[in-house]
Structure 1
Amino acid sequence: MFKRKFWKWPLASLLVSAALVTQANQTFQSEKADFHLETVAAGLEHPWAIAFLPDGSALITEREGRLRILEDGQLRREPVKGLPELVVSGQGGLLDVLLHPDFESNRVLFLSYAHRNRDGMTTRVARATLADDSLQEVEVIFEALPRSNNGRHFAGRMEFDRDGNLYISVGDRGEMDRAQDTADDAGGVHRITINGEPAEGNPFADRSGFKPSFFTYGNRNIQGMTRHPQTGEIWSHEHGPRGGDEINILRAGNNYGWPKVTYGIDYSGLPISSRTTMEGITEPLHYWDPSIAPSGMAFYTGELFPQWQGDLFVGALKLQKLVRLSLDGEKVIEEEDLLTDLGERIRDVRMGPDGALWLLTDSDNGKVYRIVPAD
């Protein structure tokens, strides 16, 4: 069984110095705790994901096709070399970065990204070894088929379960009916080994008409995925169209309904489905209508904010805010909007090894923010 490792940062990395924090340091109030929002770095081009390294530095993906290293509050001038071939088109580009559970000893990481050939574009995942400022032993371990020329809904979020299986989200590629086609990789979550094989115990491994890597299907475009700190289950959220963004717990073999069942409507204003529930369809744990366009999510497990212990934080692109959800088991009992005046599209939300919440904002001058107590 794999256990996620949380590394203790060097003291110099934990103490936020003048070099680390710009003058954009701001104080905000919330129902449970007041906090500072510290600007760690800026000048990123549509950053998509952040992963923390054991030496106190971090990796950040830029959708435009660069993997950057953040150390001591500064971005290295040169991006990491040796990335796999990828395409930047529409919503596609370099997407998520995820460390192997034993990264400290093996230096292995995983990247999700868009790829194009003469048959169209798709979502790929590659495994690689990080050697200082370059990737080595790069190998493609997953490719969603069939391809499409549509530049939408690549998804690409990844997470590990406690057994070391890799979960990969693939969007419906803007072609909604694909999410109910179980012979098509689009519109679902795939569970594989680190070598790219379907994981042992996958629910459809022996069923005709299903891709054996499928873990769930009927998912529109999952932009957030995280492991519950107590249960170990993988939680996700996905974009609805106009309304109907969802939070779900990913459970083996479940159909989450898109587009047969939805709380949203088409961008044209026309209905997509007359149903919000249906037998055999898993209902969302929580949904938003109108849409907030969620992206990135993390459970708070640090010690800086004991008032937030166990709360779920979700970024919002469209409504440009951070949402805090208090939970009672699998039920949302409180929802609070934070950073509503920031005016930034929040792309990623991560629990940092320093006990702070870390955010990435999506723009051509994307920023890295850090949330710490006000006092």
Structure 2
Amino acid sequence: MIRQVTRFSFYALLASAMTHGLAVASDSGEDAPELSYSTVLSDLDDPWDMAFLSDSTMFFTEKCNGLSVRLPDGEVNRLLGMEDTDGYAATADDLFCHGQAGMNGVAVDPNFEDNRFVYVYSASNQTTPHKNRVLRLRVNDDFTEVSNRTDIVDDIPYKMAESDHPFGDAGAHNGGRIRFSPRDGFLYVTTGDNHQGDLPQDPERLGGKVLRIDRDGNGAPGNNVAEGFDPRIYTYGHRNVQGIAFHANTHWPFVAEHGPWHSDEVKILIPGANAGWDPRPNISGRDDCPDDYCGYQPNQMEGMDPDERMAFMPMTDLDLYPYAIKPAWTNDGLSQGMSSAEFLTGSQWKGWEGRMVVGFLGIGFGDTPVGQRIDVLDIPEDGSRVRDVTTMSLPMSNGRFRSVVLGPEGDLYIAQDEGDIYRLTAE
């Protein structure tokens, strides 16, 4: 029998997680920093993620091209390309892109100086149905090649859509962010629900989950999953997590998640807990859902206002799952493509030091997209309700903010789908 994390055990786990660390500014009245920027790279093809070494060496991915590295002197070496790409030291013909899927997240091993490992999340067509995989690669001493590919996770669901599928194309709701925790040294992997109604609550399949694994892809100790769950699962009941970051003080994990045309969410993660997303039919009065996926049903109902939609198809369903993880912030009931997340550290961030930043892709078409921005959240250590939200006044133009990553010097690096990576400096 699959158990829920009870209210008592939920908060007991959270209380045991809190540790002392760096001082975090929380006074919302403190001044915001002055911001300036420089362009790090431009004319890229859908840059998706970045990961840094201490000397500012930057690994980065382009969704439909592959993995590259930018050295401290600005030189760029293209390491691992996907099918039909040119100019890379090596290519992997099974790696491909389609829709939201491709080469997504990248992470550097905390012990890189000893093992030279870097990790990427990518779609692969080695099998049918296709899968998302987490690849471990070894980087050579002069950062010109990678070798020893090991697929440490090879069974993350990928959406194989028929041409008449009612919701999006193949590769949709693909997750894809990977991050090592500074707290425990394990790798966290975010996945999506693939527009498949039964996937988020399925204890055996990895879609709609956050995984917590070791360097070989095994489930990490302390995941607290119930009997019958895949031991790699850390939390379940997710829709499409594209952001994960670790609190500046406690290093506890928080995620940023796309909402179903309402309620993008930020929430703390508790081991073994349910995030509360369940888009299956025949639940709470839902029926006649296209392709057995009720995730958009309220938005197909004329005359239903946002509050009614949230009540009918909530992102976190506390009626079905009373002990689900409650969101700290719901983006004022809007869905605007909440993507990457990071916590700011360093006194140069002034009143924003210790706060969480989230990037938005925005919605809309043509010349008038809505919601493209980076927000700064004053979020309590325990993941309770956000106290304050500030939208950054950015010196560069807005775009689809795909990734926000803190560099080793404390600057915020920003990747936009339009092809640029910027360095945002606070003072």
Indicate the TM-score class for this superposition, using the shorter chain for normalisation: 0.7 to 0.9
Instruction: Report which of the two has the higher share of strand.
Output: 1
- For the pair 1:108 / 2:117, whether they are aligned, the reply is yes
Task: Report if aligned partners of 2:159, 2:172 keep a CA contact under 8 Å in 1.
Answer: no
Task: Report if aligned partners of 1:172, 1:187 keep a CA contact under 8 Å in 2.
Answer: yes
Give the whole-Å Cα distance in 1 for the aligned partners of 2:211 and 2:324: 18
- Against the structure 1 CA distance between its residues 124 and 167, is the aligned structure 2 distance closer, same or farther, given a 3 Å change threshold? same
**What amino acid is the match of 1:303?**
S
User: What's the secondary structure of 1:285's corresponding residue?
Assistant: coil
- Cα offset for 1:145? 4.8
- For the pair 1:202 / 2:223, whether they are aligned, the reply is yes
Q: Identity over aligned residues, as a percent?
A: 29
The residue aligned with 1:362 is 417
- Cα offset for 1:198? 1.4
Of residues 153-162 and 239-248 in structure 1, the stretch that sits farther from structure 2 once superposed is 153-162
1:183-216 alpha-carbon deviations (Å, 9 max, x no partner): 2211111111111111123222x612x2221111
- Against the structure 1 CA distance between its residues 147 and 296, is the aligned structure 2 distance closer, same or farther, given a 3 Å change threshold? closer
- For the pair 1:352 / 2:407, whether they are aligned, the reply is yes
**What amino acid is the match of 1:241?**
P
The residue aligned with 1:58 is 58
- For the pair 1:143 / 2:164, whether they are aligned, the reply is no
Task: Report if aligned partners of 2:33, 2:349 keep a CA contact under 8 Å in 1.
Answer: yes
Alignment partner of 1:321 out of 355, 373, 382: 373
Task: Report if aligned partners of 1:301, 1:309 keep a CA contact under 8 Å in 2.
Answer: yes
- For the pair 1:277 / 2:318, whether they are aligned, the reply is yes
The residue aligned with 1:307 is 351
Task: Report if aligned partners of 1:122, 1:154 keep a CA contact under 8 Å in 2.
Answer: no
1:238-284 alpha-carbon deviations (Å, 9 max, x no partner): 101201211111111111111359xx855843458355532132211
**What amino acid is the match of 1:248?**
K
Alignment partner of 1:239 out of 251, 254, 258: 258
Task: Report if aligned partners of 1:158, 1:167 keep a CA contact under 8 Å in 2.
Answer: yes
1:20-50 alpha-carbon deviations (Å, 9 max, x no partner): xxxxxxxxxx961221122222111000101
1:266-319 alpha-carbon deviations (Å, 9 max, x no partner): 584345835553213221111122212111111101232222211111110012
Task: Report if aligned partners of 2:109, 2:116 keep a CA contact under 8 Å in 1.
Answer: yes
Give the whole-Å Cα distance in 1 for the aligned partners of 2:352 and 2:90: 39
The residue aligned with 1:40 is 40
- Against the structure 1 CA distance between its residues 147 and 239, is the aligned structure 2 distance closer, same or farther, given a 3 Å change threshold? closer
Task: Report if aligned partners of 2:77, 2:144 keep a CA contact under 8 Å in 1.
Answer: no
- For the pair 1:184 / 2:205, whether they are aligned, the reply is yes
Give the whole-Å Cα distance in 2 for the aligned partners of 1:38 and 1:146: 38
The residue aligned with 1:8 is none
TM-score (norm 1): 0.83
Give the whole-Å Cα distance in 2 for the aligned partners of 1:106 and 1:314: 31
Give the whole-Å Cα distance in 2 for the aligned partners of 1:148 and 1:42: 30
Give the alignment's Cα RMSD to 1 decimal.
Answer: 2.4
Alignment partner of 1:222 out of 241, 262, 272: 241
User: What's the secondary structure of 1:343's corresponding residue?
Assistant: coil
- Against the structure 1 CA distance between its residues 169 and 269, is the aligned structure 2 distance closer, same or farther, given a 3 Å change threshold? same
Give the whole-Å Cα distance in 1 for the aligned partners of 2:323 and 2:106: 33
Task: Report if aligned partners of 1:304, 1:356 keep a CA contact under 8 Å in 2.
Answer: no
Give the whole-Å Cα distance in 2 for the aligned partners of 1:267 and 1:40: 42
- Cα offset for 1:163? 2.3
- Cα offset for 1:342? 2.1
Give the whole-Å Cα distance in 2 for the aligned partners of 1:46 and 1:86: 16
The residue aligned with 1:286 is 329
1:70-113 alpha-carbon deviations (Å, 9 max, x no partner): 23574526455345531111111001110111112221111111
1:307-355 alpha-carbon deviations (Å, 9 max, x no partner): 2211111110012111111234333111111247823110100111112
- For the pair 1:342 / 2:397, whether they are aligned, the reply is yes
**What amino acid is the match of 1:203?**
N
User: What's the secondary structure of 2:39's corresponding residue?
Assistant: strand
Instruction: Report which of the two has the higher share of helix.
Output: 2
The residue aligned with 2:424 is 371
**What amino acid is the match of 1:152?**
A
Q: How many residues align?
A: 339
**What amino acid is the match of 2:171?**
G
Bigger RCO of structures 1 and 2 (CA < 8 A, at least 6 apart): 2
The residue aligned with 1:4 is none
Task: Report if aligned partners of 1:302, 1:351 keep a CA contact under 8 Å in 2.
Answer: no
TM-score (norm 2): 0.74
- Against the structure 1 CA distance between its residues 155 and 347, is the aligned structure 2 distance closer, same or farther, given a 3 Å change threshold? same
- Against the structure 1 CA distance between its residues 44 and 147, is the aligned structure 2 distance closer, same or farther, given a 3 Å change threshold? closer
Task: Report if aligned partners of 1:68, 1:75 keep a CA contact under 8 Å in 2.
Answer: no
User: What's the secondary structure of 2:150's corresponding residue?
Assistant: strand
Give the whole-Å Cα distance in 1 for the aligned partners of 2:426 and 2:44: 25
